[in-house]
Amino acid sequence: MNTPVLRRRLTAGLVAAVLATAGGPLVSPAPALAADAAHRSLRTASNPDWMRRLPDGASLAALSLPGTHDTLSIHGGAWTQTQENHGNSAATLAAQLHAGVRAVDIRARINGGNTLTIHHGATYQQANFDDVLNVLGSFLAARPTETVVMRLKHECTGEFGSCTDATGQLGFADIFDRYRDGRPGLFWGPSVNRWAGAAVPTLGAVRGKVVLAVLHGPRGGRYGQYGLAQFAGWGDGSSAYVQDEYHVPNVGAIATKRDQVRRHLDATSAGDPTRMYVNFASGASVLATPEAVAGGALGVQGVNPFLWTYLNEGPEVHPPVRRTGMLMLDFPGGGLIDRIIAVNAGGRP
């Protein structure tokens, strides 16, 4: 196993062991920060059909897409939860879509009956993949001008701190194909072809559809050729066009994570206009919860308020951000979602 994956699994396992042994965290995480424009205020944004204002001919690569990391991780405690809890059975996803989120990160376990359930590590998130597809299908039927980009990941390694798949089932890709075939027209067809990766589409080609960006195995390897061809090298962590430096060893290291996000944001803004860029603002470790990294802790500014400031600063401070790509957030605030969407118009909200 490569070192980043091993580190992620050991971190998750250590947290699980500490909680199981002590009956709860030995040291409670810092109290949640008050909600503000950047953090924990998802429902203050209302952008259910913001893509209708964009031209059909716009490449998906040209867009700035608010996204969520581990989109449905709302259970499991401070070291596992990554999003505000707006309800089980993918009701949380419905709230995110209404706010304007258009890039999602779905993690699934193979369950009995050749079905998929939503997990973050060992924790079942009280949602199934059918729930995810029901919410996406209903939303896109009601809002056919929109599209949603999905990263789907097989979550379970069977190792300490992870989940274990049910035995005697089909492989993950085969199960996914059954879901795809049972929902004709929901996915953009070229992105869910096992045998050939898709080119980056125009918005007009994918309105009313889900675009699969990549189908990941439990250690980051790509299943088949599903998704967009440009992401053939997207493994675990960072790769070409992807920033995912998820290990933030302590609260003080949030400053390093902020800089990684900023540098990739600058690269996205100035980079190849035909390529999609993915920027994970998320991170965690035993000594830094996802919320601490997102919102800040112990006087250290979190990634979300940093982004809020950076995106609102004028050209006298730094070159303006012309596109953000897929910006994958933990506990996003409504104002931050609004601001990312506004980049598409080249202006400010």
pLDDT digits (tens, 9 = 90+) for 20-68: 333 444 344 554 567 899 999 999 999 999 999 999 999 999 999 999 9
CB 269 within 8 Å of CB 323: yes
Question: Sign of torsion, CA 266 267 270 274?
Answer: negative
Q: In 217-263, which ranges are E strands?
A: 242-243
Task: Determine the pLDDT at residue 10.
Answer: 46
Evaluate if residue 6 carries a pLDDT over 90. no
**pTM, full prediction:** 0.92
CB 124 within 8 Å of CB 75: yes
What would be the CATH architecture of the domain defined by 3-28+36-343?
Answer: Alpha-Beta Barrel (3.20)
Task: Determine the pLDDT at residue 18.
Answer: 41
In this prediction, residue 9 has a pLDDT band, given cuts at 50, 70 and 90, of very low
CB 310 within 8 Å of CB 264: no
Domain ranges of the chain: 3-28+36-343
First to last CA, the chain: 45
Task: Determine the pLDDT at residue 2.
Answer: 47
CB 290 within 8 Å of CB 283: yes
